[in-house]
Amino acid sequence: MFKWVKNNAGFSLLEATLAVVIISTGMLAGLSVLQSNVVASVSMERNTIATQLANEKMEVILADNKYRGYDYATNTVNYPAEELAGSFNGFTREVEIVEVNTDDLTTPAVGSGLNKVVVTVSWADNEDSQVQISTLIANADY
């Protein structure tokens, strides 16, 4: 009634299933790498934006020091904390200015004539992230 074919050319169901499993595993691994690269790219973009925002504020402070004077540039009232909007929604920018000891540049010391300026830009990702840049401003009168 049935005549068995002696030529076994072609794929069996087991071979076809195994090939599908292997190809699917490879595709899932590839998609996982692609997804992690996209997440890293977004994180790097935000980090770059935050760095540029910090540099922008630092340039404003340095220009104020040059054109408005040391007393204006080292007064934190002139640089309040900012919640940025528009294209930079979700970013906050803060300025900290502290007169520091000339020996170690970190210990607060009134009357030293040297101020440490720290600009911090923060944003919320999966975790809180921030970028900080700092510089020193000296009083030319000292």
CB 62 within 8 A of CB 74: no
Residue type, 107: T
In angstroms, the CA 16 to CA 5 distance is 19
Q: What are the residues whose beta carbons fall under 8 Å from the beta carbon of 49, sequence distance 6 or more?
A: 88, 91
Strand partners, 118: 96, 134
Q: Residue 1: its pLDDT value, please? A: 56
Q: What is the mean pLDDT of residues 81-109?
A: 93
Helix locations, 68-104, DSSP H: 70-73
In whole numbers, what is the pLDDT of the chain averaged over residues? 88
Q: What is the mean pLDDT of residues 48-66?
A: 96
pTM confidence score: 0.72
pLDDT tens readout for residues 3-52? 665 556 666 888 888 889 999 998 888 888 888 777 776 778 889 999 99
Q: Residue 12: its pLDDT value, please? A: 82
Measured from the Cβ of residue 138, the count of other Cβ atoms closer than 10 Å reads 13
